[in-house]
Structure 1
Amino acid sequence: MALRYELDPPVDRRLADGICALWAEVVNAGGAVGFVPPVTADDVRPELVRHLTAMAEERVRLMVARDEDGEVAGTAFLTFNTHRLMRHWVWLYTVMLHPARQGRGEGRDLMAAVEEAVRGMDGIRGIRLTCRGGMGLERFYGSCGYKEVGRVPDAIRVADDDFRDDITMWLQLR
């Protein structure tokens, strides 16, 4: 069954717990969303609290993908620029889809839902994201219409002897 997408859902304990559980599952399955495995939901909770605080301050918006039971199956966070010369684009980050749902086109559907939501935002002309090299993520985002516009070699350290490129991707909307 198809996922349902909701921009800026009301945040309650169930949603927060669902995002934390999803985040831990994604990381532990090898996902590149700000942590390296192993992690627990409690490990990622402080980072979610920072996201939620930014949402309360209206600096960040949240897209949630829910499954047929209403459980959190995916997320994407959008943050607005505060710099007066860059308010025409948003950052996309913490894009996650439950590992069991990957490989079925639902990641592309999540990205399409994000794009549609951003196209409806006044004055926004582009979406920028970064991703961790060595994961094939730039190919996935490329298949969603994003273009690689920059790469910083070895900028991400995931282990003592494991450095990855920080790749910047861009989607022009207008």
Structure 2
Amino acid sequence: MHAPVITQISRPEDVTAALGRELTDCWAGVINAGGAVVPMDCPLPPVSPSTLGPAMDRIAGQLSPQRLRLLMATVDGTLAGWMLLRREQHPLVAHCGVVNHVQTRVGFRGRGVGVALMRHAARIAREEMGLERLQLTARDGLGLDAFYRKAGWTEVGRWPGALRVAPGDDRDEILMSLEL
């Protein structure tokens, strides 16, 4: 396997119908494997790519160079993962960014795709968007906190039991920060 190639999109018109289908296909696979959060207007897993289409359309419509960027990792021309990098809008926190929807297609896990996405996100946030700090939240119980710690992130808090994955399966939401 070759190293992941990271590209970014920051304009709505660059998300073609074909790319939207690739992104939602990846997203559905990750959700159905238990590794991504389901959008509020979608049913709980299992989901199909078509149920995620409206959420992807909303994401694509909000893309802009200074506010929201979509980062994609491809390996040998195949979409291997994607994430969002967003600038906070309120003036008190406009120096901060938020990382959302970090996901690696199930067949590409453990091959450096997530690490490559996170490394590029930090560089883009600092060098291109002028951000000073990034934040994200992660679901406990999946080892995600260890992954982010290896990438330089620091746990800054938890919301105990904030996420109900299934009846009787409440998980902490882990709050993490990265100084740029």
**Runs of 5+ in structure 1 lacking a partner?**
none
Query: What RMSD, in angstroms, separates the aligned Cα atoms of the two structures?
Result: 1.7
1:21-100 alignment to 2 at 5 Å? 21-34=25-38, 36-55=44-63, 59-69=67-77, 71-100=78-107
Report how many residues are paired: 172
Determine helix, strand or coil for the equivalent of 1:120.
Answer: helix
Aligned CA distance change for structure 1 residues 7 and 132 (closer, same or farther; 3 Å): same
Aligned CA distance change for structure 1 residues 122 and 49 (closer, same or farther; 3 Å): closer
Determine helix, strand or coil for the equivalent of 1:169.
Answer: strand
Provide the rounded CA distance (Å) in 2 between the counterparts of 1:56 and 1:124: 15
**Aligned match of 1:5:** 6
Provide the rounded CA distance (Å) in 2 between the counterparts of 1:168 and 1:39: 26
TM-score by length of 2: 0.88
Provide the rounded CA distance (Å) in 1 between the counterparts of 2:137 and 2:144: 10
Provide the rounded CA distance (Å) in 2 between the counterparts of 1:56 and 1:122: 11
TM-score by length of 1: 0.91
Provide the rounded CA distance (Å) in 1 between the counterparts of 2:96 and 2:64: 20
Please state how far the C-alpha of 1:100 moved relative to its aligned partner: 0.9
Aligned CA distance change for structure 1 residues 122 and 44 (closer, same or farther; 3 Å): closer
**Runs of 5+ in structure 2 lacking a partner?**
none
**Aligned match of 1:135:** 142
Please state how far the C-alpha of 1:37 moved relative to its aligned partner: 2.6
Please state how far the C-alpha of 1:59 moved relative to its aligned partner: 3.2
